[in-house]
Structure 1
C-alpha cells in the first residue's frame, strides 16, 4: 500500500506577510486552494450587520480583468472543479479544487477578485436582494431558528446573540456612510497580513511555493491586525445552561481562558462523547431509556472562548430525569482515564482520513491549522476543559472505554501477493494465460472486477446491487440503515465510506475509499443487513430537515425507477433478490480477501443486465412535500438515446449551459439563491439536470424560465466562436482522462457505465466521443433536448401544472 500523506504540511510566511501552507501529496489527481481571511461577521461595525457576508458575495461578481462569465466561479465550473466560500464569526474562507493544468488560472482569478473588486452600485443592489432572499428563508426555517435559539442563554452583549447574515434593512447600499464602512472593512482586512493561503496537490513544494508567491504578489501588503476579543460568553457566574424542546435536550457549556490547543482538545472530547459503542455515555443513556441519540460539537471557538453543545434526542415519552447526572458521571470517568490508547487510535484514524481526503479537504484542513491528533499541549487543554465543565475525581459508573475500531487494524501483506509460481516481484504487471482465464471468469461472474483502473493504488470501490420482487417499505429501509450506523462510522474512521440506499425495487450497497479494509467491512455489512432480527432495531434518530432543493435531489433517484407493492418482510425480499456488482481498482490480494464475503451474499447471483429506465418522450411530474414555504423544482432531461454519442453530446451541452444558466436565472432574473445545472447519471441514464429554489416564484413559473433558457440553446451554441467551441470541448474531454479522475469519481462513472450497458473501456471511449461532437451535432442535440425526445422528469414542491405534463404514478 502506498505511504500515507505526510501529516504536517510545510508552513512559512512570505516576505510580503502572506502566511502559506503547502502540501505535496503525489497521490492526488487534483489541486486545491483554501484562502482564509482573519475577519468575519463579528468584526464588522455594529451599525452594519451582515457586511462581511455581503462582501464575500460581492467579490464573486467579477472584475475588470475577469468579468463574471470569465471569473473564478465560471472558470472552476468549466473545468469540472468545485468552488465555495463561507463567512464565519471571525474568518472568511474561499476555496476551490481544479485539475493541475488549470490550477494556476484559478489562483490568478482568486487573487484578482480579492485585489480588484469592482464594488459596482448596481451589482450591490442586486446582490443585496439575494441576501434578502436568504434571510427570508433563514427566518422561516425551523431548524435554523432552533440553532440560533441555542445562544439565548449567553450574555446579551456577546456578538453570538446578534444577527450577522445581512438583509435589506441592515445593508443600506445607497448611503455614503455604508459605502465608506464597506471600503474601510475591505482595506483593513483584505491584505496579506490577515490571510493564510493553503495549497495542496501533486506538485512539488517548489512548484506550490512559486504559485503561492505569484498569488501573494497581487494582494495588498499589510500587517497582521489583532481581532478584538469579545465580552465573556455569560454574564453570570454560571458556566452552563440547559434548553428543552420537543424530543430534544440541549446542554451548553461556556468555556473561557482556554489555551490555543483547545480546538484539538474539544475535537478529541467530542469524538469519544459521540461514540455509540457499549459502555459509553450514548449506549448507557439509550439502555436506560433516557435518550435515543447523542451529538456533541463545539458551536464556537475564538480567543480562548468556546461553546460546547451536547444535543440529546429524547424518547417519545417526554423529558426523563437523571440525564445530567449520567453525563457528568461519564465526564468524570473520562477525566480519570489514561488517554494513551485513545490518542493512538485517534491519530491512526486521522491518518486514514488524510489518506483518502481530496485535495480540497486537505487544503481546508491545513487552513484550520489544527493538529490532526491530540498533542501534549492538547492533553493539558483537555484537562482544563473537563475541569471547567465540572468533572470531578470520582464517578459511580459502570463505564468502559470504547472497544478498538476493528477496521483500523492493518495486516501485513502476504509475501509476493498477487504473484503466481515462477514469478518474482520483477514480473509484477505481467499476465499469463492462466491469469487471463481467471480474469475472464471473474468478468462473467455477478461481481465483476474492473480492469479499467490500475490495481496498485491504495483506493478502490465496491458496488453491490440487489434487484427485488417488491419495493422495501420505508420503515424497513430506515431500520436496515440504522443497523449499519455503527459499522458506517467505524468504516469511515478507517477510510471507507459506506452507503446503503433503496430506489424503486433495488438496493445498493456502495463502498469507496481505502481498499485494504474493504473485504472485512463488506463481510460485517452483509451480516448486519441479513441478521434475523433486522426488523427489530433501535429507534432512528430524527434527522435534520434538508432544504427543499436538497430534498428533491435526495428523492430523484427513487422517482426514476418503477415501484411495485411495498413490503417489510425482510426474509421475502432477500430470498427473491438477484444480485450483481462491480469492484474497481482492487489488487489481487484484496480480490482474494473478498472471496469469503462474496460467498455469503444473500440472494441469487445474476449478471444479466437490465436496460436503463426510459421515459419515451413523456413529461412526468412528481410533487414532493418539502414542508417548507420555499418553492423548489428539479428538471431531469435524459439523453435522446442510450448511445455513447448522445451521452457525449449531452455532456457537452451541460458544459456550455452551466455558467449561462446560472447567470440568467440567478444573477439577471434573481429567481433564487440555489440555482444550478449539471450532467447527472442516474441508474445508467445520462441526463441534464436543472435546479432552482426560490422564496417567491412558484414551480410552474420556474419551469417556464428553464424552458425559455433551453429554447435559446441553439442561439447560445451559434454565438460561440470556433476557438471557444474547440477549447470548451477539449477542456471537457480532459476531465475524463485517468490522470485527472479521482478514484471515487472514476468508480461512479464505471458503475453508471455498467448500468447503461457500456463496454469495459468506457473511460477511454468517453473522451474520444466528446472530441467527435461538432457544432452541427451539438445543435441537433439541443433540438432533441427541447423536443424532449428522451423524456423529461420534473420533481417540484407543488402539483403538476397540467398538459403536456402527466402526474407520475
Structure 2
C-alpha cells in the first residue's frame, strides 16, 4: 500500500489513513506492535455503557480466516509472546510482543481481527458472560471502588462519573437498537483514519515498513472523526463524601484550560513530586514518620483537562496529622512553581529518559514511540502548576493538627548513578561463591546480579522489614539509572536482584551492601507494617506460591517477641552465607562488580547452588486472606533430576496452555482469570494452572482441571509427530542465549542454580528438547494426570474432598 510522509514526528500516513511509525533497535530480542484506536469508553452512546469494552473483547474471538488455535491469542502464546488490550476513556490500545520471526504473522492476525471481527450473536452471548465476570470482580475490588470515590465531586454530566465497565444488564444483546449501536460504533471508529500503529524490533526499518504496509492494507479507509469538546469537570453537581480508608489521603486536583503540550509537563511534574531525595516532599514526610508511600498519578487527561492525584499512604501518626501532610504538599507545590525555571531538572530528566530508553523492551519502546513526549516541558509546566491550588481540589482539606511546620525545600541532587563510576585499577579475581554467565552479544550494556543470603530470615520478619526500608531510596535512584533493584525474603533466605544497565551496578551493589550492613537510624523506628494492598485472589495465591514450594506455608509480618535491633542484625549477618550469579559482565565492569561483592555482609558460601524440596501426594493450602471470587492455583512439579523430563514437561505446558484457556474460559466460561504455563519457582520446575471464577465453586474448578488433564494424552497424540517436533524445535530456539532477553536469561539461570543445575543447563536443555518425541510428551501428560510428582494447590477455600492433605 502506498504511503505519504504527511504526518508529524517522522510518521507515515498510509492510503487508508493509518499513521505508521517504526523503530529499529538492534539490541532487542523481541519485536512488538502497538496499535491505538482513537475511540474509547467516553465515545459510546450513553444508552449502552460498556459497549467499547465489550467490542474490544469480541475482537479476540478470532475471524473466519484465523480461528481457534490460529487466532491471535493462540498464535502469540504459541510463540512464547505476550499480548493484551486496554479500553481507556478516549482511546483503545491493542499490543503484543513476539519473537521477530513471528511479527508478520501476529500483525496480520491483529489487523484481520480489527477489520473482520466475529459479531455473531452466539459469540456475543458467551463473551458478555466473561465481561460480566470481570464486572463482578471489579465491583468487589477495593481499589476500583476507591477510584470511583475520587471522582464523586466531578460534574454529574462528565463521563468520568458514568459507568463504563459493562455487564450483563447494560449490554442488551437481544435489543435491535443495541446491535445497531454496536455496528455503528465499530464502523465509525475502527478504520485506518482513526488508527495509529508503531512497530519496534531488531529488524531493519525497511523490513518493518514492509510488514506494516502489507498487514495494514486490510484495514478499511474512513473519515477521521472530530474530537468532541469536553464537558466541564466542575459545575457544582458533584458531591464529596468521607473517605472509606483513613490511611489514604488523596489530594485530587481538577485542571482545566491547559495548554496543548501539557502531557509532557504532567509527566515531568509527577517524576519529581514523589522523589525520595533529601529536601523533597516525600523525604520530609517520611522523616516525620507520617507517610509510608506517595504516588503521584494523572488519573485523566483529555483535550485541555486533567485530573491529578497525590495519593499518600499514611502511617498511624500520619492519619492524625493528615491536615499537616496536605499543607506540606501545597507548600512544596508553591516552592516548585516559584522556581520559575527548571533547567537543572530538565537536564537531569533528559538523562533519565535516555537511560530508560536503553532498558526498555520492544513493547515499551513501541508504546513510547507511539505516544512521544514533547520537548521542552517547561512551556506548559507553569500553567499546570498554576492550577494546583486548594480551590481546585475535589475533596475538602483535612484540618491541620497544631501549627504546620515550615520547611526549607530544595531540589533533589543529581543522581550519582547516572554518571560513570571509577573502576579498580587492577583486575580483581572472581569469587568462588559467584557464578558468572555470559550475557547477550547484541545487548552488551545489560546485566543481571542475583544475591542470596542463606540463614534464618523467616524467624525475623521485623529485621526483614528494616532491611527492605533501608534500600527504598536506593531502589528509586537505581530505577532512574536504568536498574531495577529488588529485595525480599524467600523462606529462610534474603534475596537481592539488580536488573538492567550493567554500568552502574557495581556502585549500586556497594551502596546496597552499606545499607544492609548498617541500616539508617530512621529505618529502625518503623511501627507495625502496613496492611498489604488488597489484590485479586488469584494474584494473592501467585504471590504466596514461591514460599509454599519451599515448605513455608504460613508467614508472619511481625513477631512481637522478635528483637528488632542492630545487635540482632549483626549476629544474623555473622551466621549467613551468601552466593551470587552475575550475567553479562566483562572487564573492567567485572572487576568493579567483584570489588562490590567483597563488601557484602555475611560470609561467602563455600559452594553455590541448592536443592529442591521434594513433593509427593496432594497438598492443599487454604489461604483465607484471599477472599472474593473462587480462586484455585495448582502447581504440578516436574520430576526432579532429569533434564529429559523437564524438557517434556516444558513442551507439554507449551502445547497445553492454549487448549486449557480455550476450555476453561471460552467453552466453560469459568471466568476471565485463566492461565496455564511452565514456571521455575524457588528452584522447582513445573506446570502452574490458575482459575478465578465468580460463579463456580472450588470443587467445580478442580473437577474441570482434572477432566482437562484426562484429555491431555489424546490431545498430544492428535497433534501429530511433525507438529510436536516443530514445536519442540521452536521452544529450544527460544531458550537459547541469543533469543532470551537479559532479564529472562538471568532468571532462568538463577532458578536453575537454585534447583542444583550446572553451568551448561541451557545447552543441555536445548539438546533434551531436540531429542523429544511425541510419546515422551504423552507420558509426561499421563504422569501429570496421576500426580506422580505431587500436586500443590493454593486456594481461598478448603479442600473439596479427603484426597488432599491440608498443609499448616
**TM score, norm. by length of structure 2:** 0.91
* Structure 1 pair 455–574 and aligned structure 2 pair: CA distance change class (3 A): farther
Question: What is the Cα-based RMSD across aligned positions, in Å?
Answer: 2.5
**1:31 alignment partner in structure 2:** 31
Distance 1:349 1:452, change over 3 A: closer
After superposition, what is the alpha-carbon deviation per residue over 1:673-711, rounded to whole angstroms, capped at 9, x for unaligned? 100000000122210000111112222321221111111
Which residues of 2 match residues 54-453 of structure 1 at below 5 A?
54-236=54-236, 245-288=245-288, 290-317=290-317, 318-320=319-321, 321-337=323-339, 338-371=341-374, 375-376=375-376, 378-390=377-389, 397-411=407-421, 442=430, 445-451=432-438, 453=440
Whether the 8 Å CA contact 1:482–1:537 is kept in 2: the answer is no
Distance 1:121 1:104 in 2: 31
Name the CA distance, whole Å, in 1 between partners of 2:223 and 2:504. 48
Partner of 2:524: 536
1:640 matches 2:627 = no
Cα deviation, 1:402-453, whole Å, max 9, x if unaligned, reads 12212111248899x98xxxxxxxxxxxxxxxxxxx9xx73x7001222365
CA shift, 1:310, in A, is 1.1
Q: Residue 475 of structure 1: CA displacement?
A: 3.3
Q: 1:414 to 1:558 in 2, by over 3 A?
A: closer
- Tell me, in whole angstroms, the C-alpha distance in 2 between the residues paired with 1:581 and 1:407: 22
Contact preservation (8 Å) 2:31, 2:362 = yes
Contact 2:39/2:92 (CA < 8 Å) preserved in 1?
yes
Cα deviation, residue 286, structure 1:
3.2
Measured after TM superposition, the shift of residue 30 of structure 1 is 0.6
2:545 paired with 1:556: yes
SS in 1 for 2:60: helix
Tell me the alpha carbon deviations over residues 361-388 of structure 1, each in whole angstroms, 9 at most, x when there is no partner. 11112222334xxx23x21211011112
Identify the range of structure 1 (507-516 vs 240-249) with the bigger mean alpha-carbon deviation.
240-249
Please say if residues 192 and 220 of structure 1, whose CA atoms lie closer than 8 Å, have aligned partners that are also in contact: yes
| TM-superposition CA deviations, 1:261-299 (whole Å, max 9, x none) | 111101111111111221112222333455443221110
Deviations 1:573-617 (A, max 9, x none): 222111111101111111111233211222222143564323343
Aligned to 2:484: 497
Per-residue Cα deviation, 1:63-91 (whole angstroms, up to 9, x for no partner): 00011321111000001001110000001
> How far is 1:239 from its partner?
14
TM-score by length of 1: 0.91
Is the 8 Å Cα contact of residues 9 and 23 (structure 1) preserved in structure 2?
Answer: no
* Secondary structure at 1:488 match in 2: helix
Structure 2 residue ranges without an equivalent (≥5): 1-7, 392-404
2 CA distance for matches of 1:193 and 1:239?
Answer: 39
Deviation at 1:346, TM superposition (A): 1.0
Match among 448, 454, 473 for residue 486 of structure 1: 473
Cα 1:159–1:667 change in 2 (3 A) is same
Q: Tell me how far apart the structure 1 counterparts of residues 379 and 531 of structure 2 sit (CA, whole Å).
A: 36
CA separation of 1:118/1:503 partners in 2, compared to 1, >3 Å: closer, same or farther? same
In 2, are the aligned partners of 1:10 and 1:22 still within 8 Å (CA)?
no
Distance in 1, Cα, partners of 2:543 & 2:10: 39
Between 341-350 and 276-285, report the one with greater CA deviation. Answer: 276-285
Shift in CA distance, 658/58, structure 1 to aligned 2, threshold 3 Å:
same
Q: Tell me, what secondary structure is at the counterpart of 1:487?
A: helix
Correspondence for 1:506 among 482, 485, 493: 493
2 CA distance for matches of 1:620 and 1:793?
5
SS at match of 1:249: strand
Cα shift at 1:553: 0.8
Partner SS state of residue 177, structure 1: helix
The equivalences for 1:603-614 within 5 A come to: 603-609=602-608, 611-614=610-613
C-alpha separation between the residues in 1 aligned to 2:627 and 2:778? 39
Give me the whole-angstrom Cα distance separating, in 2, the residues matched to 1:543 and 1:276: 21
1:455–1:670 CA distance, 2 compared to 1 (3 A):
closer
Q: CA deviation at 1:759?
A: 2.7
Paired residues of 1:240 and 1:253 also in contact (CA < 8 A)? no
Aligned residues of 1:455 and 1:586 also touching (Cα < 8 A): no
Which of 565-574 and 156-165 deviates more? 565-574
Q: 1:794 to 1:538 in 2, by over 3 A?
A: same
Distance 2:367 2:178 in 1: 32
Secondary structure, counterpart of 2:588 in structure 1: helix
More deviation, 273-282/189-198: 273-282
Distance 1:707 1:167 in 2: 30
Would you say the 8 A contact 1:335–1:391 is kept in 2? no
Please give the alpha-carbon distance, in whole angstroms, between the structure 1 residues aligned to 2:761 and 2:110.
Answer: 35
- SS for the counterpart of 1:677 is strand
Q: Distance in 2 between matches of 1:470 and 1:366?
A: 44
- The question of whether the paired residues in 1 share the 8 Å contact of 2:154 and 2:237 is answered with no
CA distance in 2, matches of 1:277, 1:548: 35
Distance 1:310 1:190 in 2: 35
Partners of 1:304 and 1:314 lie apart in 2 by: 32
**Alignment check: 8 A CA contact 2:421 2:504 kept:** no
Q: More deviation in 748-757 or 567-576?
A: 567-576
**Which stretches in structure 1 are left out of the alignment for 5+ residues?**
1-7, 419-437
SS in 1 for 2:182: helix
Secondary structure in structure 1 of the residue aligned to 2:101: helix
Deviations 1:543-577 (A, max 9, x none): 43221111111111111114599865423322211
Q: Compared with structure 1, are the counterparts of its residues 285 and 507 closer, same or farther at alpha carbon in structure 2 (3 Å cutoff)?
A: closer
- Asked if 2 retains the 8 angstrom alpha-carbon contact of 1:630 and 1:693, the reply is yes
Q: What SS does the aligned partner of 2:122 have? A: helix
Distance in 1 (CA, whole Å) between partners of 2:760 and 2:286 is: 50
Equivalent residues, number: 773
Query: Comparing 622-631 with 14-23, which one deviates more in the overlay?
Result: 622-631
In the other structure, the counterpart of 2:397 is none
Corresponding residue SS for 2:316: coil
Which residue of the other structure, out of 525, 531, 534, is the alignment partner of 2:512?
525
Contact 2:16–2:219 (CA under 8 A) maintained in structure 1: no
The residue number in structure 2 matching 1:618 is: 617
Shift in CA distance, 176/627, structure 1 to aligned 2, threshold 3 Å: same
Is 1:471 matched with 2:454?
A: no
CA distance in 1, matches of 2:252, 2:443: 48
Q: Quick one: structure 1 residues 520 and 659, their matched pair in 2 at CA, closer, same or farther if it must change by over 3 Å?
A: same
Q: Secondary structure at the match of 2:225?
A: coil
**Range moving further from structure 2, 191-200 or 140-149:** 140-149
Counterpart CA distance in 1 for 2:85 and 2:165 is 14
Deviation string for 1:296-339 (max 9, x for gaps)?
11100001110011112233244423333322221111112231
Q: Distance in 2 between the 1:220 and 1:405 partners?
A: 49
1:221-254: CA deviation from partner (whole Å, max 9, x where unpaired): 1222112122110114999999684122211111
The 3-state SS of whatever aligns with 1:166 is coil
Give SS of 1:153's match.
coil
> Which deviates further from its counterpart, 737-746 or 538-547?
538-547
